[in-house]
Structure 1
Amino acid sequence: MWKIGVVTSSNSVYRKERENDCFPKLEALLKHNLNVAVAYHRVSPDNIEMLKENMIELIDRERVDLLITIGGTGLSPEDVTPEATELVIDRSVPGLAEEMRRCSMQHSRKVLLTRAIVGTRGNALVINLPGSLPSMEWCFVAIADQISSALSIVQGTNENVNI
């Protein structure tokens, strides 16, 4: 079973000025699509250093297999999740990020404004998701069927996956 970590990046959620409506929905999506539960959840302000520290803690110390970030992927000056993620990952997986945007365009062309990225750090897969419903759901569902395969490849447990 995969160990899952989630970091929500939002100044307003961090300050408890707004509900974290995406997190419960992501929990349900993970259960439905991958039959997994979230082991760790952190809420961070939109701050590169704090986001980076939370991601590194969950991947390197807590040994999560999958780290999903919610929020901070837009064009606002305070949206810095992709920049923090780039400082954490070893390799990018652009195909998954491209597929999130491609599939989500069926619902709204505004998804083109997300700068979400996907990558790996060691044996972990890192996925950025937008912080608004329903964009977060559209992006997750677009790649949900590839997450288990990606994790198996990254962790070296499935040598027979042809790409």
Structure 2
Amino acid sequence: MSKSESVFEPLAVAVLTVSDTRTAETDTSGDLLVARVQEAGHSLAARQIVKDDIYQLRKVVSDWIADEDIQVILTTGGTGFSGRDSTPEALSVLFDKTIEGFGELFRQVSVEDIGTSTVQSRCLAGLANRTVIFCLPGSNNACATGWDRIIREQLDARHRPCNFVGQVRR
């Protein structure tokens, strides 16, 4: 099969909500990401809610990075500027490679919705142990923007000229 005849390859995705206040019943951004992942044809490999604590975040994500059955990690929350927001500090040190373009593109497309407030978004992405990690803000709108405008295509082997499917472990 040539590259132009690529087929969709479902990936195993873990979703992590970073919040001191959300519960399984109130985790609407996590619910949104799970629905988008499954609607796209991927499988949900794990889901968890973790307090905004650097070491708890690193533990959960490190365990998922080491899990051969997880290829993608999506986080929601903890990317702002409040005192407890620590997702970038917690997770960037785990990356083997940083995907600088993700944060840049996210801010570019989100300016249409939230204007200059997008400068306060510290969303980021990286690769670690052949696992791609996307860290999104905690709002439903931000998660929808990130998934619909960037991540969905990048997790589809048919997207050209490039995508992350070939970078994650098989």
CA distance in 2 between counterparts of 1:126 and 1:85 reads 9
Measure how far apart 1:54 and its partner are.
0.4
Q: For 1:70 and 1:131, how far apart are their aligned partners in 2?
A: 5
Q: Deviations over 1:86-125 (max 9, x none)?
A: 1211110111221111111111122321101110002110
**Alignment identity in percent?**
23
TM-score (norm 2): 0.83
Task: Find the counterpart in structure 2 of residue 6 from structure 1.
Answer: 15
Does residue 70 (structure 1) correspond to residue 76 (structure 2)? The answer is yes
After superposition, give the CA deviation of every residue in 1:29-66 in whole Å (9 maximum; x if it has no partner). Answer: 2223x311322001100000000000011120353100
In structure 2, the residue corresponding to 1:106 is in which secondary structure?
Answer: helix
Unaligned runs of 5+ in 1: 158-163
AA of the residue aligned to 2:163: A
2:71–2:169 CA contact under 8 A, matched in 1: no
Task: Note the residue ranges of structure 2 that are not aligned, 5 or more in a row.
Answer: 1-9, 157-161
Query: Runs (4+) of structure 1 moved beyond 6 Å?
Result: none
Alignment of 1:13-28 (within 5 A): 13=22, 16=23, 19-28=26-35
Corresponding pairs, count: 154
